[in-house]
């Protein structure tokens, strides 16, 4: 039996992930079975199980796709010496990505996975891989503090959590309201955050 080329293998793998994503989006993660995904592909079970052992593997692969895209964006942030400029670039890139309807659908799946992680420890472990990307931001902020580019009294860990919460909050609101004004949201968020980032700011009493 001839071997499948790596290119065809990756294309088939992506086809399975896309079919699974559509099933999850339509039926929800918990109600979707592997049989549903096989039917969506109009394929045989063996043609799917040779790539993925089950739903958990598929979820991990979908999450890894997202983490890879986000890691590429984060590398741009970590290369910046200016905190405000770096955050502006990162926010612009993220929010531009979230204007894509296909990305919006993928983020709806992320919301389902967030919810599922509250009851399923295996899904929780998968989701935590992405959450740990926040550690990169925390480390970058701490480095900026040591270099005098961020106020010394700023809590870098708390600040990275606030930044993540703003992004996650937008994703959730956008899922409810697809026409949400992302530019206004981003502009308002940056007006709140940027003044806090100046190392020359003075505490008010």
Confidence at residue 157, expressed as pLDDT on a 0 to 100 scale: 94
Q: Where are the alpha helices (DSSP H) in 118-155?
A: 121-131, 134-146
DSSP state of 179: T
Query: What pTM value is reported for the model?
Result: 0.79
Mean predicted confidence (pLDDT) in 168-194:
92
pLDDT in tens, 136-177: 889 999 999 999 888 888 899 999 999 999 999 999 999 999
Domain architecture of the chain: domains with CATH: 1-52 (1.10.10.60), 59-197 (1.10.357.10)
pLDDT in tens, 42-95: 888 888 898 999 888 998 888 888 888 787 778 777 777 888 888 888 888 888
Distances (CA, A) of 48 to 15, 20, 87, 180: 10, 11, 41, 37
How far apart are the C-alpha atoms of 34 and 128, rounded to whole Å? 24
Confidence at residue 51, expressed as pLDDT on a 0 to 100 scale: 92
């Amino acid at each position: 039996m001839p071997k499948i080329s790596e290119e065809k293998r990756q294309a088939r793998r992506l086809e399975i992930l896309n079919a699974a994503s559509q099933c999850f989006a339509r039926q929800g993660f918990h109600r979707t079975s592997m049989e549903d995904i096989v039917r969506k592909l109009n394929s045989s079970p063996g043609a799917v199980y040779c790539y993925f052992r089950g739903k958990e593997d598929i979820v991990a692969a979908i999450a890894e796709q997202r983490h890879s895209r986000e890691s590429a964006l984060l590398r741009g942030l970590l290369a910046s010496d200016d905190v405000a400029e770096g955050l502006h670039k990162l926010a612009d890139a993220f929010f531009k990505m979230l204007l894509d309807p296909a990305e919006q659908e993928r983020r709806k799946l992320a919301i389902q996975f967030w919810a599922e992680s509250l009851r399923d420890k295996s899904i929780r472990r998968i989701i935590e891989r992405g959450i740990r990307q926040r550690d990169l931001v925390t480390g970058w902020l701490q480095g900026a503090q040591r270099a005098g580019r961020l106020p010394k009294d700023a809590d870098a860990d708390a600040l990275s959590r606030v930044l993540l919460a703003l992004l996650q909050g937008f994703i959730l609101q956008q899922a409810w309201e697809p026409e949400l004004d992302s530019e206004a949201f981003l502009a308002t968020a940056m007006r709140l955050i940027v003044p806090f980032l100046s190392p020359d700011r003075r505490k008010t009493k």
